[in-house]
């Protein structure tokens, strides 16, 4: 059940980001659900690998500044998700960086609200 709630929260975060951020376009809430599924799968499959590679490539600074590295990994994975999905269009990498920040904010708030209700 937790995975379904997390998927729903991520879908809402994707949709709200698309509503607020120009250059980040999702085809409706159904598209946001598809994007969240693809993004979540890619994050599970490749997120840790990209994080480790960036940490090693920066000679450990990426591990010390993990919050910035995770932000960068999210933006990279958003661009990869854009290439895999017809439901998502991201104008530029800068837009992906802002989208990753907004999605993290909305996701954190959503997870907090869900945990507070259970």
| 92 backbone dihedrals φ, ψ, rounded to 5° | -150, 170
Predicted local confidence at residue 1, as pLDDT: 62
Nearest C-alpha neighbor of 19 from the set 29, 10, 9, 7: 29
Identify the band that residue 117 occupies on the pLDDT scale cut at 50, 70 and 90. confident
- Report the SS3 class of residue 45: helix
Calpha distance 18→8 (Å, rounded): 15
Report whether 52 contacts 70 (CB < 8 A).
no
Identify the band that residue 82 occupies on the pLDDT scale cut at 50, 70 and 90. very high
Whether 118 shows a pLDDT value over 80: the answer reads no
Could you tell me what percentage of the chain is helix, strand and coil, using 3-state DSSP and rounding each to the nearest 5? 80, 5, 15
């Amino acid at each position: 059940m937790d995975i379904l709630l997390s998927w729903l929260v991520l879908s809402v975060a994707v949709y709200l980001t698309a509503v607020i951020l120009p250059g980040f376009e999702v085809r409706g809430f159904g598209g946001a659900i598809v994007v969240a599924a693809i993004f979540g799968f890619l994050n599970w499959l490749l997120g840790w690998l990209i994080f480790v590679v960036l940490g090693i490539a920066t000679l450990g600074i990426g591990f010390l500044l993990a919050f910035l590295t995770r932000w960068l990994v999210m933006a990279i994975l958003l661009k990869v998700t854009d290439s895999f999905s017809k439901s998502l269009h991201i104008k530029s990498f800068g837009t992906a960086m802002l989208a990753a920040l907004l999605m993290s904010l909305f996701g954190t708030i959503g997870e907090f609200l869900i945990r507070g209700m259970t």
